[in-house]
Structure 1
Amino acid sequence: MTNGFHTIAIHGGYDYLDNHDAATPPIYQSAAFDMESAARGDRLAAGEEQGFSYSRVANPTVDVLEKRLAQLEGGDDAVAVASGMAAVSFALLCAAEGGGRIISPTNLYGASVDAMETFFPQFGVHTDFVKDINNLDEVESKIGPDTRAIFAESVANPSTEITDVEALADLAHRHGIPLIIDNTVPTPYLFRPIEFGADVVVHSTTKGITGHGNALGGVIVDAGHFDWAAGRHPQFTRKELVVSDERNGVWRSFADTFGPKAYIRRVRIKYVRTFGAVQAPFNAYLQLVGLETLSEREKREVATATAIAEHLKTQPHVLKVNYSGLGDTEQRDLVAKYYPNGVGTILSFLIDGNEEHVRRLLDSTRVFSYIPNIGDSRSLIVDPARITHREVPEEYRLRAGVTDNLIRLSIGLEDPEDLIADLDQALATAFAE
């Protein structure tokens, strides 16, 4: 087998010889698995042997998805979870648990900002927000002895602003800090952050990876090259019973037991197993099916998104179009460097009306669906300030350009002419006297 993206998307992580010659990965709809012997059960429970015993920890269908996504992202290992927010939460808490701090911009998906602003502090994890994640001086000024990670979206939702991942990774690594990137918007087809120095990549696989709006999921991919035992992350060198042999007086840490895999194994053993945000095998199956057409969907949807963005720039009542893929912003060099095949399938635009105009526009679309998702094969429309970013403090929302007259689009697989006509008639209806 080659290492080509399209080949991996169809074949990666799966061996039909291990699955009764099934051409596609079976759905292992089983809560638990026979451990075969007491000795093997003990090894499985101790993490000394990889295998399946209980689906809250690992499941064969989910395992294929994890391996395939790790290969597509160029990572070493992955853990799939129940949703994108579970992926973001587990990835950040695992890095910063015990009183650590995270550095992050505010131009993120609303639930991510809310988690870091109001919820993580209840667990002793705090965030130092910066105005511009690409302002390395500003980012560096926030680094302190308890900084445990830097977090950003590769392409911000809904502004489509691009993070300079390579420069940010270099800065993080000079200070012994991992860089965690949410790569949901571009998907690994358009961008692979690990190739530019990211240490951990997360996705809401609900979005472009699944691509059909029919399954929730998330994934955490570990590049496998960050030294979690270097000193900033004491949770990895602390002796823990779950990976030790108390009866024989053998005490180990995650770093002792798993070496460079300490982070991703801690995500699985301490977070997925304990908090229980488990990826369902049927959802994993739907995501595997979606992955097979990821590249073809992204090509078409990016082309349509570009055409729609260009069209909206010419329309009356449209004040501004946010789509960095047009290459008409100060980030054009970053677009050329990181996104030669496009920045993704979402864009947003400002209209020169008030909230009533926004409501009338939203209620007038016939092809676009009013749905708070992205990456679907259907084209979607939403008002972020009221829906996806409702819980974000006003200061952060306005800084990210999420005003009451902002509208976000997620472009699907419909004919671009039909989508453009739908937007035109909706705009006309919204501003009709």
Structure 2
Amino acid sequence: MKDETKCLHAGYKPKNSEPRVVPIVQSTTYVYDSTEEVAAVFDDPTKSLIYSRFANPTVMAVEDKIAALEGGVGAMCTTSGQAATMLAILNICSAGDSIISTPEIYGGTINLFSATLKKLGIECIFVNKHDSDEEIGKAFRENTKAVFGETIANPALTVLDIERFARIAHEHNVPLIVDNTFATPVLCKPFEYGADIIIHSTSKYMDGHAVQVGGVIVDSGKFDWTNGKFPELTEPDETYHGISYTETYGEKAYIIKARMQLMRDFGAYPAAHSAFLLNLGLETLAVRMERYCNNALTVAQYLKASDKVESVSYPGLEGDESYALAKKYLKGCSGVISFIIKGGKENAIKFMDALELASNEVHVADIRTCVLHPASETHRQLTDEQLRAAGISAGMVRLSVGLEHVEDIIADLEHALSSIDRK
């Protein structure tokens, strides 16, 4: 387009007079000077804006910010973290392919991998991260296309050995995809340790205020998609006039394919206003993460000393199974704690129902303290075997420590724990 501002509608200002906040371009449609220009952008959507199912200036500004925070070459926002996970896999997998994952991941992701993707002909092979490299290597098939894990597992609160899993993945010529939701780029940058693709549920710490549901995929630009295992990236795409993504877009091949092909067909793109709200959260992310981490460590130490608590999982605690990995990869361990209350499910529910400051809700990583019972809520669809593999017991409570004064949080926990003894 001759005049770039014509496609951006009211509210946009050229770079030399940028507003202090990201403008909301609340438009589905962008205007062109000629039919020829429209035809050209349908040949190659990277040349300009087509329609807000693909891209929107407000969302693009947030995508650029997240890519910069993670150190990637590009990012694509989605309507949820689940959509980001799904598209990240479908971008390189088809029916007949497989992926490898650790089982210590979000329950919804386990369902996606073990049930929904299975219906699409994509197999997920779960591996024990404590197994040797050789044992994990045996899980790879000729059709394996990716390895998946979470930086800080939800809700097991174990830390992924990113360098190790990146090395194993690369030895088999596949990328490592890391869900960095709990850590955020403030606490960990997985690309620096060999990860190739990062996803987030932006509904969590990036937003922080429980006002928008969203997700994002970030591309490192470092994986070699021309190694022979990914023809969907190297061979001509007939739906875009024979474009080869690797030949045409180089290091951005993966993320551009995701937008041009999958976002075109699935349309899971967030609204401009959602991106605007997400951006407000991003602007305070570094400050909030420091407070979350400090509060959570104090609370974890309190819970560990309680005679009502069987065990506490928090990577920042000395003696925790992930303590050494947390020291290696994390600048803080987020605000999420998992702990097991003595007496199992009955006492866990009694404890949660007695809380007053903390909210019992199906959310996490909010500015407000909240709790949930994974076995009966977020992970209730899993079998007992899957629950054990994910590190979830009947008495486990997931506590998301907020930004309230830590003494107020502990007072609420103390009150609720004392209720366990009441008949």
Q: Same fold (TM over 0.5)?
A: yes
What amino acid maps onto 1:338 in structure 2? Answer: Y
Deviation at 1:17, TM superposition (A): 3.1
Classify the secondary structure of the residue corresponding to 1:66: helix
**Among 339, 344, 348, the residue aligned to 1:354:** 344
**Among 338, 345, 358, the residue aligned to 2:329:** 338
Deviation at 1:38, TM superposition (A): 2.2
Worse-matched range after superposition: 49-58 or 364-373: 49-58
Query: After superposition, what is the alpha-carbon deviation per residue over 1:50-96, rounded to whole angstroms, capped at 9, x for unaligned?
Result: 32120000000000010000000000100000000000111012122
Q: Let me know the Cα RMSD of the aligned residues.
A: 1.6
Deviation at 1:146, TM superposition (A): 0.6
Classify the secondary structure of the residue corresponding to 1:363: helix
State the 4+ residue runs in structure 1 displaced beyond 4 angstroms: none
Q: Structure 2 vs 1, CA of residues 117 and 19 (structure 1 numbering), >3 Å: closer, same or farther? A: farther
For 1:357-396, what aligned pairs fall within 5 Å after superposition?
357-396=347-386
Indicate the residue corresponding to 1:276 in structure 2.
Answer: 267
Please tell me whether the aligned partners of residues 87 and 218 of structure 1 are also in contact (alpha carbons under 8 angstroms): yes
Query: After superposition, what is the alpha-carbon deviation per residue over 1:16-57, rounded to whole angstroms, capped at 9, x for unaligned?
Result: 634964221111110111133223222221226432120000
What amino acid maps onto 1:361 in structure 2? Answer: F
Please tell me whether the aligned partners of residues 134 and 168 of structure 1 are also in contact (alpha carbons under 8 angstroms): no
Please tell me whether the aligned partners of residues 154 and 163 of structure 1 are also in contact (alpha carbons under 8 angstroms): yes
Indicate the residue corresponding to 1:408 in structure 2.
Answer: 398
Deviation at 1:260, TM superposition (A): 2.5
Worse-matched range after superposition: 231-240 or 61-70: 231-240
CA distance in structure 1 between the partners assigned to 2:18 and 2:197 by the alignment: 34
Please tell me whether the aligned partners of residues 57 and 272 of structure 1 are also in contact (alpha carbons under 8 angstroms): yes
Please tell me whether the aligned partners of residues 35 and 53 of structure 1 are also in contact (alpha carbons under 8 angstroms): no
**Among 252, 273, 285, the residue aligned to 1:294:** 285
What amino acid maps onto 1:337 in structure 2? Answer: K
CA distance in structure 2 between the partners assigned to 1:242 and 1:261 by the alignment: 19
Q: Structure 2 vs 1, CA of residues 194 and 16 (structure 1 numbering), >3 Å: closer, same or farther? A: farther
Indicate the residue corresponding to 1:129 in structure 2.
Answer: 126
Q: Structure 2 vs 1, CA of residues 21 and 258 (structure 1 numbering), >3 Å: closer, same or farther? A: closer
**Among 112, 115, 122, the residue aligned to 2:112:** 115
Q: Structure 2 vs 1, CA of residues 333 and 16 (structure 1 numbering), >3 Å: closer, same or farther? A: farther
CA distance in structure 2 between the partners assigned to 1:373 and 1:194 by the alignment: 27
Asked if 1:315 is matched to 2:306, the reply is: yes
Indicate the residue corresponding to 1:100 in structure 2.
Answer: 97
What amino acid maps onto 2:233 in structure 1? Answer: F
**Among 145, 149, 160, the residue aligned to 2:146:** 149
Structure 1 length-normalised TM: 0.92
What amino acid maps onto 1:294 in structure 2? Answer: L
Question: 5+ residue gaps in structure 2?
Answer: 1-11
For 1:165-180, what aligned pairs fall within 5 Å after superposition?
165-180=162-177
Classify the secondary structure of the residue corresponding to 2:227: coil
For 1:144-223, what aligned pairs fall within 5 Å after superposition?
144-223=141-220
Please tell me whether the aligned partners of residues 224 and 260 of structure 1 are also in contact (alpha carbons under 8 angstroms): yes
Deviation at 1:269, TM superposition (A): 1.6
Indicate the residue corresponding to 1:248 in structure 2.
Answer: none
CA distance in structure 1 between the partners assigned to 2:131 and 2:183 by the alignment: 18
Worse-matched range after superposition: 268-277 or 327-336: 327-336
What amino acid maps onto 2:393 in structure 1? Answer: T
CA distance in structure 2 between the partners assigned to 1:84 and 1:185 by the alignment: 12
Question: 5+ residue gaps in structure 1?
Answer: 1-14, 245-250
**Among 315, 318, 321, the residue aligned to 1:327:** 318
Aligned length: 412
What amino acid maps onto 1:173 in structure 2? Answer: H
Q: Structure 2 vs 1, CA of residues 283 and 351 (structure 1 numbering), >3 Å: closer, same or farther? A: same
CA distance in structure 2 between the partners assigned to 1:171 and 1:36 by the alignment: 51
CA distance in structure 2 between the partners assigned to 1:98 and 1:356 by the alignment: 43
Classify the secondary structure of the residue corresponding to 2:112: helix
Deviation at 1:383, TM superposition (A): 0.1
Structure 2 length-normalised TM: 0.94
Deviation at 1:327, TM superposition (A): 3.1
Please tell me whether the aligned partners of residues 97 and 235 of structure 1 are also in contact (alpha carbons under 8 angstroms): no
